[in-house]
Structure 1
């Protein structure tokens, strides 16, 4: 466990290197593990987010930060190598 300032500095350098290499960085932050201030601070380092949530027996996904407004929530289902999306209820 590290403090937020240490993690932010590390990720700032790391994301810079990923961008300089024309790479794609994917970082996972589990919901509920950090307070909102921490999440807001770390979000500054990223171009966008893919949020995933459970809605009853369904799993939903949306994209935030890559478009002017977040996308709607979509229910997703993976069957083999196919991804099915429909509006999340």
Structure 2
């Protein structure tokens, strides 16, 4: 998968995470893509290291969304004044 595919999946995962987590999320499209890519990386390496799933399984997308939600919560705590 190239860079364009990574950005599209990151956008999809970021949008799903923002949609699933209630509340206001003041960030733009770039931060949404970065959130999705970060969640994907977090879930991919974490899930495979723990032996939960292997590369290419559908659980990877679910894990990526969960990872993005975790990053969204952390981002929300760090962004509060």
Decide: shared fold, TM above 0.5. Answer: no
Higher strand share: 1
Pick the structure with greater CA Rg: 1
Higher helix share: 2
Normalised by the length of structure 1, the TM-score is: 0.28
